[in-house]
Amino acid sequence: MGTHRRLVLVPALLVLVHASTLQLTRPVPLAPAPPALRPAPTTTPEQLLADRGLAVPVKGVPRHRLKDTFDDGRGKGRKHKAIDIMAAWGTPVVAADDGRIEKISRNRGGGLSLYQVDSSGRFVYYYAHLAGYADGLREGQDVRRGDVIGYVGTTGNAPESAPHLHFAVMLLKGEKRWWGGEVVNPYAALRDAS
């Protein structure tokens, strides 16, 4: 009886050892299988802009007082594609975001104006109808969100009776330059930033 049992046990042990050897040589999965491919979430330019946490670019204007004038007509089928922030003449205009002053410009429509590129190099901010610029402001200067860069005025084609900041935002498409890009409505990003 005892001898018979031992004869059965030995082959059984051999099978166990063999099986554990197999276990060790089997490749160990390094990571769980990747999830099924799903379409990348679509981020709109407006959402990207909201992530910047913009300051209202006119000092003392509360967010709830902003008006969405982006789609207003501007004659000959043109649209405004910017928002106007009404304020008293001479009210400080502040940088809406961290970035660099790319271009200080004077043009017929915008009057005294300037272009700022944000610190991510993605957005261009255009400030127009300024009464003047902050002392010593120069192209290439780095500015922080909230820094005074100019003053509200009526230069260019703004009515003298309605001083305001014309504020436009463009999303750059790869090229690092201060003109062109896709125009983005900044209203929601300004209204909802905290």
Where on the chain is the footprint of Zn ion (CB under 5 A)? 82, 84, 166
Min. distance of Cβ 179 from Zn ion in angstroms?
18
Q: Report the SS3 class of residue 189.
A: helix
Nearer to Zn ion, 56 or 82 (CB): 82
Nearer to Zn ion, 52 or 166 (CB): 166
Q: Tokens 């502040």 map to which residue?
A: 94
Min. distance of Cβ 38 from Zn ion in angstroms?
41
Min. distance of Cβ 80 from Zn ion in angstroms?
6
Nearer to Zn ion, 123 or 127 (CB): 127
Phi, psi of 104 (to 5 degrees): -105, 125
Nearer to Zn ion, 80 or 103 (CB): 80
Min. distance of Cβ 84 from Zn ion in angstroms?
4
- Beta-bridge partner residues of 94: 148
Classify the C-alpha dihedral 33-38-44-50 as positive or negative: negative
How far is residue 95's CA from residue 117's CA, in Å, rounded to a whole number?
A: 10
